[in-house]
Structure 1
Amino acid sequence: MSAPGPDREPAASEAARAIEAAGTDEREWAAWPAPGEWPEPALPEGPVLVLAAHPDDEVLGFGGTAARLAAERREVHVLTATDGEASHPGSRVLPPEALARARRRELAEALDALGVDRRTRHRLALADTRVGAHETVLARTVAELLRSTGAGLCVAPWRGDLHADHEAVGRAARTAAASVGVPLWQYPVWMWHWAVPEDARVPWTRCHRLPLSAAQRARKRAAVRRFRTQTAPLPDHPAVILPPEELAHHQRDFETVIVETDLS
């Protein structure tokens, strides 16, 4: 993940406040019975293209299922839009260029832990917090990758996640998937923080659950631990991006995807 950018329009400022506020406790989500009734979607045939705005998004939202696909020898392609260099603004310990290098290393280790082939990893290096300015280029790149890989499914951050970069990647994925005629699943990341059960802002009727085995959960936990810059404080940046209470949302025995039903 990365924090919202410093230059905010009014709507972006409201979204940033929702993300920066105290979040919904995982115990509240665990007590909500609705996810137990969500259907399990059938995985289409062919390779799967997984998109992320920042290094770690793909692991938090879809890491367990990616591990399952890799174990089944399914071809999993991962496209990361940014290097996440804006997650610790003002840090002298890890200024942007050093942080970008660190996060690329962490992602490589995390994808290794999931079993994702190193030959199927793609990087765009767009500016962190500024993905929306490159949405057209991103959509074109995703469409080209969907065609060249023969992907049968596109998976991306949810376009209602309230983080501008996540939403831009989600919108670009929707445009690309529609142009190629490929199904689209979107995974929430920050939603579990700012939303509450039955929240009217979330399309619960399109939510599906992807059960995870003990082995898949273990691989996902191992992958998440690789993101040291996000799960531990820096000497000059004590705020942790992914504290235990945030990680708890992404350590369940299932993952959630919002299935797009109309890509016209």
Structure 2
Amino acid sequence: MKTNPIVGQGTPLHLWQSSAHLTQLPYIDIAELVPEGSRAVIIAPHPDDEVLGCGGLLQGLAALGRPLQLISVTDGSASHPGSRRWPAQRLSVVRPQESAQALHRLGLPLHSLKWLRAGFSDSHVAAQEDELRQFIQRHLKPTDVVLTTWREDGHCDHEAVGRASANAARAVGATLLELPVWTWHWATPEDSQIPWHRARKIPLTTDVVARKRHAIHAFASQLEGDPQIGLPPVLAPYVLERLLQPFEVVFV
């Protein structure tokens, strides 16, 4: 993991918009990523990562009628350290509720969505990485397509979940797709640390982006900081604009 990469306002959107690497990425169709007969298993380190990383892709999968399995690794209770407004006990209840509302706003069939809450400790997933791998592996089939955060995404939980998911997928013969989320914050537009040769673009229509934006606004806790202790929001406007481009990127 990079040394403390998620600081400041990160790489401005206009630099990404002029990135030669990003502009030249080949497009890929959702039906090709998750073929008929496959189930999509989305493994999110925290409640919201599934929407931030692939809210557009999820809409496409729902439209195709692909079976969906969501695994929330943690309840996201450590997002506001030291806050009285958002203490860990409150967050552990609120954040999964926010995810449910966000998925509803995306138009996902919640009645048929299989959703597991794994209960690992927010910000300490790496300490239980092997246990997480075993947990994930128990719930995978060889025909699954696993979508999770990139193993080099810059957040300790994102990276640990990415590694555990990759190892579990490899063990059962499932397909792995990785999603950059915080990468857009710390990386530079021509950054050689990004595996551009594995990167593919999923085009998103204006309506799909609008639904993704509406879904993200269900995460009230993440849109609010705590001014009393000088805590900025996790999902500040400059973070959101980088995640609401007319495409999503996956590493195949």
* TM-score after normalising by structure 2: 0.91
SS in 1 for 2:139: helix
Equivalent residue for 2:19, pick from 26, 32, 36: 32
Instruction: Find the counterpart in structure 1 of residue 120 from structure 2.
Output: 126
Instruction: Find the counterpart in structure 2 of residue 256 from structure 1.
Output: 249
Amino acid at match of 1:142: I
Instruction: Find the counterpart in structure 2 of residue 57 from structure 1.
Output: 49
Q: Decide whether the 8 Å contact of 1:177 with 1:184 is kept in 2.
A: yes
| C-alpha separation in 1, matches of 2:149 and 2:124 | 16
Q: Decide whether the 8 Å contact of 1:50 with 1:79 is kept in 2.
A: yes
| C-alpha separation in 2, matches of 1:171 and 1:121 | 21
Q: Decide whether the 8 Å contact of 1:48 with 1:151 is kept in 2.
A: no
Instruction: Find the counterpart in structure 2 of residue 15 from structure 1.
Output: 3
SS in 1 for 2:228: coil
For residues 128-158 of structure 1, the C-alpha deviation after alignment (integer angstroms, 9 at most, x for no partner) is 00101111121122222222xx653101000
Number of paired residues?
244
Sequence identity percentage: 39
SS in 1 for 2:26: coil
| C-alpha separation in 2, matches of 1:87 and 1:229 | 9
Mapping 1:1-264, distance limit 5 Å = 15-16=3-4, 18-41=5-28, 42-45=32-35, 46-118=38-110, 119-147=113-141, 151-237=143-229, 238-259=231-252
Q: Decide whether the 8 Å contact of 2:9 with 2:238 is kept in 1.
A: no
* TM-score after normalising by structure 1: 0.87
Q: CA RMSD in A?
A: 1.6
Q: Decide whether the 8 Å contact of 1:15 with 1:163 is kept in 2.
A: no
Structure 1 alignment gaps of length 5 or more? 1-11, 260-264
Q: How far is the alpha carbon of 1:52 from its aligned partner? A: 0.7
Structure 1 ranges of 4+ moved more than 4 A:
none
Structure 2 alignment gaps of length 5 or more? none
